[in-house]
Chain A
Amino acid sequence: NAGVMQNPRHLVRRRGQEARLRCSPMKGHSHVYWYRQLPEEGLKFMVYLQKENIIDESGMPKERFSAEFPKEGPSILRIQQVVRGDSAAYFCASSPGTAYGYTFGSGTRLTVV
């Protein structure tokens, strides 16, 4: 059981480029959650997805950010036209059905230069 796999671990992008972060949930988990962690801060909820559905995107910025969890393959968090303020650690968590059984990945650290 490989746990929640996130890649890449580190990602450097220039301002204006696109960042694509991937998350493969634990085997048997069909619910995926994305969080953002700024330096010296807690984790902020971004989006909650089930296969092919966005359940709650109340934490997603209105522009440039999107997420998907296709029927096949990993969940993708996409950030278009990145800015310096997007630099953060992005964590994915998965659960078998509810938030009571969260397991987090090791995160992707995005640096925008």
Chain B
Amino acid sequence: QQQVKQSPQSLIVQKGGISIINCAYENTAFDYFPWYQQFPGKGPALLIAIRPDVSEKKEGRFTISFNKSAKQFSLHIMDSQPGDSATYFCAAVAEANNLFFGTGTRLTVIP
């Protein structure tokens, strides 16, 4: 049973465009929602995270939008660059225990 559903599975964006990745969850006990970036052959690295008491968090070109009532959250990458090409995972944490990951989105930014 997938605790966190992520879409799309893959995404191709032109350089300078906006990349949008969506996630949804059911467990209302989740209280922390991080996004991880993974390059081939590397481990996931924390990119940005949000708690459900805010609706948006922005760090540089990366923004998380959070809709608590819909139990959905999304990652927006503004001015996407070829160096952003990677696999992105959303995740959720409940009660400070293990992370539940989405299935990942492979982003390709075309020059």
Which residues of A pack against B, CB within 8 Å?
A: 4, 6, 33, 35, 40-45, 48, 56, 59, 91, 93, 97-100, 102-107
Knowing A41-B103, A99-B93, A100-B32 are in contact, say whether A91-B98 is a contact too (CB < 8 A): no
Extra contacts besides A99-B32, A102-B99 (16): CB < 8 Å: A42-B104, A43-B99, A43-B101, A45-B100, A48-B97, A56-B97, A91-B44, A97-B96, A99-B93, A99-B96, A100-B93, A100-B96, A104-B36, A104-B45, A105-B43, A107-B43
Q: How many residues of B contact A (CB 8 A)?
A: 22
Q: Give CA–CA (A71, B96) in the complex, Å.
A: 23
| Shortest Cβ gap from B43 to chain A (Å) | 4
Q: Give CA–CA (A103, B32) in the complex, Å.
A: 15
